[in-house]
Amino acid sequence: MDFNILVGGAAGQGVDTVAKVLELTMKKQGVEVFSHKDYMSRVRGGHNFHMIRFADRPIYSHRESLDVILALDSKTVEIHSSQLSAQGVLVSDESYRQKISTGNALWLPLKEKAVEAGTKLTEGTVAAGAVLHLFDFDFETVWPVLNSLFKSEIFEVNRRALEIGYALTEPQFKLEFPESQPRIMVTGSQAIGLGALAAGLSFYSGYPMTPSTGIMTYLASKMEDAGIVVEQAEDEIAAINMAIGASYAGARAMTATSGGGFCLMVEGLGLAAMTETPLVIAEIQRPGPVTGFPTRTEQADLSFVLTASQGEFPRMVTALRDPEDAFYQTFRAFNLADKYQIPVILLGDQYLGDYYQTIPPFDFSALTIERAIAGEEVWKQPEHYQRYKLTDDGISPRLVPGRCGTQVVIADSDEHTEDGHITEAADVRVAMTQKRMQRLEHLKKEVQEPWVIGQTDPKILLLAWGSTAGPVREAIELLEEDYSIGALIFGDIYPLPTKLLTDLAPNVTMLINVEQNATGQLASLIRQEALIACTHSVLRYDGRPMSGQYIADRVKEVISSDERGTE
Amino acid sequence: MDFNILVGGAAGQGVDTVAKVLELTMKKQGVEVFSHKDYMSRVRGGHNFHMIRFADRPIYSHRESLDVILALDSKTVEIHSSQLSAQGVLVSDESYRQKISTGNALWLPLKEKAVEAGTKLTEGTVAAGAVLHLFDFDFETVWPVLNSLFKSEIFEVNRRALEIGYALTEPQFKLEFPESQPRIMVTGSQAIGLGALAAGLSFYSGYPMTPSTGIMTYLASKMEDAGIVVEQAEDEIAAINMAIGASYAGARAMTATSGGGFCLMVEGLGLAAMTETPLVIAEIQRPGPVTGFPTRTEQADLSFVLTASQGEFPRMVTALRDPEDAFYQTFRAFNLADKYQIPVILLGDQYLGDYYQTIPPFDFSALTIERAIAGEEVWKQPEHYQRYKLTDDGISPRLVPGRCGTQVVIADSDEHTEDGHITEAADVRVAMTQKRMQRLEHLKKEVQEPWVIGQTDPKILLLAWGSTAGPVREAIELLEEDYSIGALIFGDIYPLPTKLLTDLAPNVTMLINVEQNATGQLASLIRQEALIACTHSVLRYDGRPMSGQYIADRVKEVISSDERGTE
Amino acid sequence: MKEGQSKGLFDSDDEIAWCPGCGNFAILTAIKTALLELNKRPEEILMVSGIGQAAKLPHYIRANVFNGLHGRALPPAVAAKIVNPELTVIVHSGDGDTYGEGGNHFIHNIRRNVDIAHFVHDNQIYALTKGQASPTTDLGQVTGIQTKGNLDQPLNPLMLALAAGASFVARGFTGRPEHLVNLMKEAISHPGYALIDILQPCVSFNKVNTHGWYADRVYELPEEYETGNLSRALEKALEWGEKIPVGIFYRVEKPTFSDRLSWLTDHPPLVDRVWNPQDAERFLTELE
Amino acid sequence: MKEGQSKGLFDSDDEIAWCPGCGNFAILTAIKTALLELNKRPEEILMVSGIGQAAKLPHYIRANVFNGLHGRALPPAVAAKIVNPELTVIVHSGDGDTYGEGGNHFIHNIRRNVDIAHFVHDNQIYALTKGQASPTTDLGQVTGIQTKGNLDQPLNPLMLALAAGASFVARGFTGRPEHLVNLMKEAISHPGYALIDILQPCVSFNKVNTHGWYADRVYELPEEYETGNLSRALEKALEWGEKIPVGIFYRVEKPTFSDRLSWLTDHPPLVDRVWNPQDAERFLTELE
Ligand SMILES: Cc1ncc(C[n+]2csc(CCOP(=O)(O)OP(=O)(O)O)c2C)c(N)n1
Ligand SMILES: Cc1ncc(C[n+]2csc(CCOP(=O)(O)OP(=O)(O)O)c2C)c(N)n1
Ligand code: SF4
Ligand code: SF4
Ligand SMILES: [Mg+2]
Ligand SMILES: [Mg+2]
């Protein structure tokens, strides 16, 4: 069982609510859900849609072919009906009636019935009822969902609307329910936020920027309960500098933004590095340059964040691969930032940030916070504390101001002496540079090798990173029967873990980087770090996420064009 | 003939003026001069010095070994006397008398004689007189220099001081005067400024930041004469956005900064690219991260500027190699920015920006301004003008608002249609991305191959970029007799010109990148772009520029360690 | 109207992406009317904006447009005006754009006093990003991020502009379109930087400061109100709450940026500057 | 003095890099005196600064120091205070640092009203970068970059702070050290953001606003001056030229940032927060 429903309409038509009703109902029934949202940078009008896929086994990506279309406007019919599978059903108000090329259309009196239910605003709920009945969903699971979504004043009218809608259709698809497993349904943004909360984040400063705002919204909703501060800064420069100040003062601190805001954080990134203040920054990518496509997805900021800020310093960059990964890696980022006193950048994107996926509940039991803040053994020493003490491993014991007896903690953005004062000495400069860079060597040992998907000794090796993990996994499933194929999916990406790569690459005939950008930024990094060149690329840069099917099709094209080429 | 004088003292002691007297006198006598300044980030006190080298043939770099030290304080004696050559002479006030390890000391009554001349403030001038006599410089050339440097009120007392100082010493070095050639004495900052003026710059906005401020100061001094606007912005964000607005409106515009300011310009860089507004940005590097060493030199922002800003777009990066190169490349940058409607980044550093060098006067005769702004043939068309028209070569005819009849010019930072309005269409996105990136292909043809120095088919090939050009040239001269050695010095660095590199690299046994940074950023770029790995590195990152001798010594070390390694 | 003027002269063919009922429509109509009444033509106008709902306005009017970065409308606007003073330069930006992200440019461009008009669509909210507090959002107002109410006391944009030395400071309201048109005409005609903070209801995200909320409070500064008195203007600007004055709070003539540079006023605009590389050769002399 | 207090308690062993005669020395002495008189100890103090001559001060006093980026002293300072309210947080920054590069943080941190003291060394010049105009440099003053005189009218920092809603606004002068010490003590003790703009002669780069120039003009606000009246304060703040008032222009009590967040005032400081990953497990429920 693997179904795919598209709910489409204009912004402000309640597409989100209808989608929520469907998603939550399915989740409650115990099926696996993957729900991806495609929306425009406007509040009303335009064309937005959700694709809600559900199955009796884990789902890793959206897919294009549709079993049901719920069209709240005629644009949805026009744009999407060609995606309908042969057995697919389009559900829409009769007023939008038109010819569709595949599948079956149910032109229903949705608007009329909505008025009948009590208000035309319930059109979406009527439609949701109609769709739920197509799948023969159990009413008993729908009520609690409705209850949680609608305020009591409007619950009744929506309940009525749903019932009326339900009556409009007959079951057409057969549901199979998997064995019920404990599941949460979560977006990447929520997972990052919860990972940070678990890690003991107590200070978050940020400035709204799509598609990163979800993280801040999530954290802000937990502000009082978790007893933390979530503060909207006047700009991104303030956001990162506040986070750094909070971290210096001893809090676990974080900021998040998208590429445009990250531009404004670049100097702050260097400040965290130079002052050796731990910091976690989530950069949730959207298509650029600059304003670009504010609500869409891309992976084109990798090269940027790798070398952002003047001068040279160690940083760690981890690409988040799915909500589950996002949770654990965000948690880990705080420990690593503290351990090495460095900035850690988490790279996400709109796709990862916004899609909902059912996954097993996060396991908190094995998580441990490691602050790596020095204790009395350091601050009870009679000598003045040296914030930047030169040590064998390049890591200076860190103290927190006001929490270390009569010692003081001196942090400085100039080149500095061990005790944190401005210096111009050449030898100190060399020692401090080496001390800073030495931590890159530690990080090289710390980084995790990429996920291996598909065959472990394949002839065709795909290389991907971040949120394409799921789609690539599905692509491999689709290709595996016909080809000797596998994939490496990088999470930790800088410093680049190269062991698996250098093991596998020499034996492959095709090395294909699969990236959501135009220039192949992972491939560039791999050339630079491992002197290995990809033979082919699958790139997408129109702001729409690649599905498993999309990748599989493109990989096939590449394979066949190559065979032709070598004939 | 090749002499090297160091003038050292505390900030505020007049070291600059003494150095100026010496530099200008030498230049007027027709010898070649290379004067490098080492100064601290403070206004008074500390330790600053100039190294003034002069010879009867062109000089490309400073050197460490000294023929004369003019010490205005005891610190200068302590720090530098070991650099004195065996025949060298140290000139200092008798109050600073101490043992020196090499050379000869002249402990003179400089302070006393200054008071005798009229005021103790003339101590430096007395000392300058003493030094000039050591070289038997002609008085007649010194007066006009003094005249140009001192306001009339203090000219007389300084003249007296100079005479008194002159009388304190006897000639010790033999000057040989080269055949007199027309020469200018210029810093990199001035050369950049003058190149921009020649190119028709009419709007400069910037924010003070060492070591880039020299460019702005130079341009500001020509403001009225050239009839241009030089405006100090409230911050670097404003500086770049103003320059972009001015360029959009039809002016040739520029901004300059150092790494920290460039951080704040990163988003603006993307804006120039996305709106296809020509822009020239000079990034004059200093050691980072962040505040780092404000007044010192480094080449550690290359990786940063290569990929700064989110998303993908073409940019051109040219490293300036010496003041002469700086002039011509700055001029060219404006033409290229206009031709391809892109941002062009000029990479300099404190060394290049601040040293004075005698060079042949710039040749203005062959320079032509190419604005590439479309004419009536475009704006007299009846259709609405499309700022981002899709064309075969990816270049849309550019018009200037208010100068194109009844047409209007619509520039946009979102993804846009051909007419400049916001779009969310996938196909437009793809077309616009390709259109933007297509210009990178043009640039690949436009870039100039690196300078070839030394042997053209060497066994040992040095790779360098930017301001180390001169020092590497001197190093090659020092090494050439003993080794089969040559160098490629990159000016245009992105897109990377790879022809010479890929021709030469396969035949060398040692490929050594010589860079003023800790991680070898050129080497990284070459790995990425040409899949060629350097075998060794010579890196310096203590904020002090490499001299020819320094490089030669380090290269020799590398060679011998390697032979040992392969034994 | 000039010859060739027509009611649709400033119409753009770009589709409007605002919500039905949004206050921005009134601003769009007002600016078109003001420009028509001032006998302007599209090619004489340069509309500059940042990012936000307000910042989309330039697309919806036929004119030269520079739609730049969030918070950064003013720097390109003033530079373009310096380069080509013949352009009528108008900035449209949101309260977040102007007073939040762009706050530094706001105070410093008041100092610069370049001859532009600046119309801030002040809906007291970040609308495009779906409803976070802006610098003018009321204290305590609850939003998706200010879950415990807005913690930072709101800015008073008029106070700030007056304090920074602006020579034209006004407030308008989308509910008084004719008044707004007049303000716009005055602002555009004012030599130097002219600010109108326009109260603009956002029907989607600001459920506190609605059209009705404003309409109940807004009153026009009386005829007798003297616009040349700074202390008076500061006092008036402090008035906010039960009663909200609209109109011109302050207007004086101050030298503009270009007035201070003789070679800008005496010469053709920089955009028309004639220059050959050889003209720069004279600067070699001092290096010889 | 507290037990363990001694005159040298706040002495740093870092070498001072200012010019002889610089006004900054008086500020350094004043702040040390103020802290001693307030019975503070070095480890209780956090000095935050940006970049500039002023911004070097934290190195010259024994205290916790965060010497960050040019223009960005305030954001880390307020955040550190929020995280650990037990720290006495003091920002030292230059006029360029504060009102130029950092202008946006200045106005918005006034809104935030975190309990810190902010001492601006206002020498009306960019000193560390060798003498360019700052936002407070006089109109027409000639510098290496303002070769035709400064074109932008100066900001009045006190006006700006008042307009932005500051609850403590003062001006000091290095030539009146005792008065300055008192101002500093008041500012440090004031709950919320407290600004002192300190007139600080730069002997190397500002040859206009010299010690003598200030000394001739400066007078202290009289005892009777009421500090709680905003209109009065605005009027006083406009006074600049022949006579320059120093003292506390305005002081009222407003809720601070932390006052508005109950869980900050009721709980131990964030720096002492006890938290296990498992404490976050409860947030899973809503995702189920
Ligand atoms: C550097 C940067 N940061 C953040 C954003 C996201 N952003 C776009 S519009 C906006 C706020 C708009 O608010 P306002 O200026 O009040 O305009 P409105 O939508 O209310 O008209 C923000 C935060 C951005 N585009 N760029
Ligand atoms: C991002 C950035 N831009 C510019 C600079 C250069 N810079 C350092 S200090 C300074 C001006 C300092 O002026 P002010 O704040 O008045 O301090 P003062 O030196 O006068 O005390 C500037 C422009 C910098 N360090 N960082
Ligand atoms: S969200 Fe608000 S400001 Fe934006 S278009 Fe809708 S009503 Fe207008
Ligand atoms: S330059 Fe001016 S501000 Fe800086 S230390 Fe010298 S006198 Fe003081
Ligand atoms: Mg708004
Ligand atoms: Mg200053």
**Is residue B512 domain-shared with residue B552, that is, in the same domain?**
yes
Q: Assess C72–A contact: CB distance below 8 Å, yes or no.
A: no
pLDDT digits (tens, 9 = 90+) for A474-509: 999 999 999 999 999 999 999 999 999 999 999 999
Higher pLDDT, A456 or A370: A370
- B203 and B300 share one domain: yes
Q: Are residues B73 and B214 in the same domain?
A: no
Percent of chain B beyond pLDDT 70?
99
Q: Neighbouring chains of D at 3+ CB pairs within 8 Å?
A: A, B, C
Q: Does D268 touch chain A (CB under 8 A)?
A: no
* Contact criterion met (CB below 8 Å) for B283 and B343: no
Mean pLDDT of D99-115: 98
| Ligand 1, atom 4: closest residue by C-alpha | A209
Q: Which of A190-194, B351-355, B477-481, C4-8 has the lowest mean pLDDT?
A: C4-8
Percent of chain A at pLDDT exceeding 90: 90
Q: Which of A541, A242, B146, B71 is closest to D73 using CA atoms? A: A242
**Residue owning the nearest CA to atom 3 of ligand 4:** D202
> Burial of C222 by CB count in 10 Å (0-12 exposed, 13-18 middle, 19+ buried)?
exposed
| CATH code of residue B39 | 3.40.920.10
Cβ D155–C111 below 8 Å, yes or no?
Answer: yes
User: Residue D126: CB within 6 Å of ligand 4?
Assistant: no
What ipTM did this prediction achieve?
0.98
C120 lines ligand 1 (CB under 6 A): no
Q: Is the CB of residue B518 less than 8 Å from the CB of residue B542?
A: no
Given a cut of 90, whether residue A567 has pLDDT beyond it is no
Q: Which residue did the predictor score with more confidence, B174 or A306? A: A306
Interface test with A, best of D88, D275, D276, D278 (most A CBs within 10 A): D275
- How sure is the predictor about C3, in pLDDT bands with cuts at 50, 70 and 90? low
The rounded percent of chain D whose pLDDT value lies above 70 is 98
Q: What is the CATH number of the domain that holds A507?
A: 3.40.50.920
Mean pLDDT within B321-328 = 98
Q: What is the pLDDT of residue D2?
A: 57
Task: For residues C202-229, give the mean pLDDT.
Answer: 97
CA–CA distance, B213 with B220 (Å, rounded to integer): 10
Q: What is the pLDDT of residue C2?
A: 57
Tokens of B9: 């003292």
Q: Looking at residues A281-303, what average pLDDT do you find?
A: 98
pLDDT in tens, D49-72: 999 999 999 999 999 999 999 999
The C-alpha atoms of residue D96 and residue D101 are separated, in whole angstroms, by: 6
pLDDT band at C213 (very low <50, low <70, confident <90, very high): very high
A306 contacts on B by Cβ (under 8 Å): 303, 307
Chains near C (3 or more Cβ pairs under 8 Å)? A, B, D
Q: What is the pLDDT of residues D150-191, one digit of tens each?
A: 999 999 999 999 999 999 999 999 999 999 999 999 999 999
How many beta-carbon pairs below 8 A join chains A and C?
67
Task: Using a CB–CB cutoff of 8 Å, tell me whether D18 touches chain B.
Answer: yes
* Residue reference for tokens 């093991």: A503
Q: What is the distance between the alpha carbons of residues A487 and A478, in angstroms, rounded to a whole number?
A: 13
Establish if B368 belongs to a structural domain. no
Residue B179 confidence class, pLDDT cut points 50, 70, 90:
confident
Residue A150 falls inside a structural domain: yes
The predicted structure's pLDDT at residue C4: 57
**Is A180 among the domain residues?**
no
D264 pLDDT exceeds 90? no
- In the numeric block, which tokens belong to residue A240? 């990162």
* Higher per-residue confidence, D239 vs A103: D239
Lowest mean pLDDT among A313-327, B27-41, B416-430, C95-109: B27-41
Q: Ligand 6 centroid to D18 CA: how many Å? A: 13
- The closest alpha carbon to B96, from B125, B116, B76, B67, belongs to B76
Percent share of chain B, pLDDT over 90: 90
Q: C253 C-alpha to center of ligand 6: Å?
A: 30
Pair of tokens at residue D90: 């003091």
Is the shortest distance between the CB of C129 and ligand 1 below 6 Å?
A: yes
| pLDDT, chain B, mean | 95
**C72 touches ligand 1 (CB under 6 Å):** no
Q: How close A30 comes to chain C (CA, Å)? A: 30
Among B263, B426, B531, select the one facing A527 at the smallest CB separation: B531
Q: At A471, which helix (H) or strand (E)?
A: helix A469-479
Q: Quick one: pLDDT band at residue C264, thresholds 50, 70, 90? A: confident
What digits encode the pLDDT tens for the residues A24-78? 999 988 899 999 999 888 888 889 999 999 999 999 999 999 999 999 999 999 9
CATH of the domain at A278: 3.40.50.970
Nearest by Cα to D73 from D63, D58, D84 = D58
Residue A482 contacts by C-beta under 8 Å, 6 or more apart in sequence? none
Q: Which of B192, B197, B469 is nearest to B353 (CA)?
A: B192
Domain end call among B411, B446, B481: B446
User: What domains can you pick out in chain C, each with its CATH number?
Assistant: 24-263 (3.40.50.970)
pLDDT mean over B531-541: 98
Out of A184, A241, A421, the one facing D69 most closely (by C-beta) is A241
Which of the two residues, B176 and A155, has the higher pLDDT score?
A155
Range of the domain at B489: 451-566
pLDDT of residue B153: 85
Q: Is there a single domain that holds both residue B234 and residue B335?
A: yes
Say if residue A399 is in the same domain as residue A502: no
Q: Which of A131, A166, A201 is the last residue before a domain boundary?
A: A166
Q: Give the per-residue pLDDT at A564.
A: 53
Is residue A172 in a domain? no
> How does pLDDT run across B185-234, given as a tens digit for each residue?
999 999 999 999 999 999 999 999 999 999 999 999 999 999 999 999 99
Q: What is the pLDDT of residue C131?
A: 96
Q: Are residues A25 and A127 in the same domain?
A: yes
Chains that touch B (3 or more CB pairs under 8 A): A, C, D
D127 lines ligand 4 (CB under 6 A): yes
Phi, psi of B513 (to 5 degrees): -85, 135
A513 and A547 in a single domain? The answer is yes
**DSSP assignment string, B437-504:** HHHHHHHHHHPPPPEEEE-SS-SEEEEEEGGGHHHHHHHHHHHTTTS-EEEEEESEEESPP-HHHHHH
Domain end point (choices B359, B388, B409): B359
pLDDT for A522 beyond 90: yes
* Res B533: pLDDT: 98
Question: Do B258 and A46 make contact, defined as CB atoms within 8 angstroms?
Answer: no
pLDDT in tens, C123-167: 999 999 999 999 999 999 999 999 999 999 999 999 999 999 999
Whether the per-residue pLDDT at D126 is higher than 90: the answer is yes
**Three-state DSSP class for residue B469:** helix
Predicted pLDDT at C113: 98
Pairing state between β C88-94 and C117-122: parallel
Asked if A137 and A234 sit in the same domain, the reply is no
pTM of model > 0.90? yes
> How many structural domains are present in chain A?
4
**In angstroms, rounded to a whole number, what is the distance separating the alpha carbons of residues A146 and B161?**
95
Amino acid C231: pLDDT: 95
Task: Assess whether B268 and B347 both reside in one domain.
Answer: yes
Phi, psi for B201 (deg, rounded to 5): -50, 130
Q: Is residue A158 situated within a structural domain?
A: yes
Name the pLDDT band for A416 (thresholds 50, 70, 90): very high
The pLDDT assigned to A565 comes to 47
Q: Is the dihedral of CA A37, A41, A45, A47 positive or negative?
A: negative
B313 → closest Cβ in A289, A312, A433: A289
Do A441 and A463 lie in one domain? The reply is no
pLDDT the model gives residue B565: 47
B291 CA closest ligand 2 atom index: 25
pLDDT of residue A18: 92
One domain, residues B434 and B300: no
The verdict on B159 and B305 lying in the same domain is: no
Q: With 90 as the cut, is the pLDDT of residue A261 above it? A: yes
| DSSP-assigned states of every residue in A533-551 | --SEEEE--SSSPPPHHHH
User: How much is the mean pLDDT over chain D?
Assistant: 96
- pLDDT score of B567 more than 80: no
- Asked whether the predicted pLDDT for residue D46 surpasses 70, the reply is yes
Q: Is residue A391 part of a domain?
A: yes
Task: Name B404's Cβ contacts closer than 8 Å, sequence gap at least 6.
Answer: B378, B379, B385, C43
Position B207 in a domain: yes
Residue B347 contacts residue B295 (beta carbons within 8 Å): no
pLDDT digits (tens, 9 = 90+) for C82-127: 999 999 999 999 999 999 999 999 999 999 999 999 999 999 999 9
For residue A102, being part of any structural domain is answered with yes
Q: What is the C-alpha to C-alpha distance for residues D145 and D143, in angstroms, rounded to an integer?
A: 5
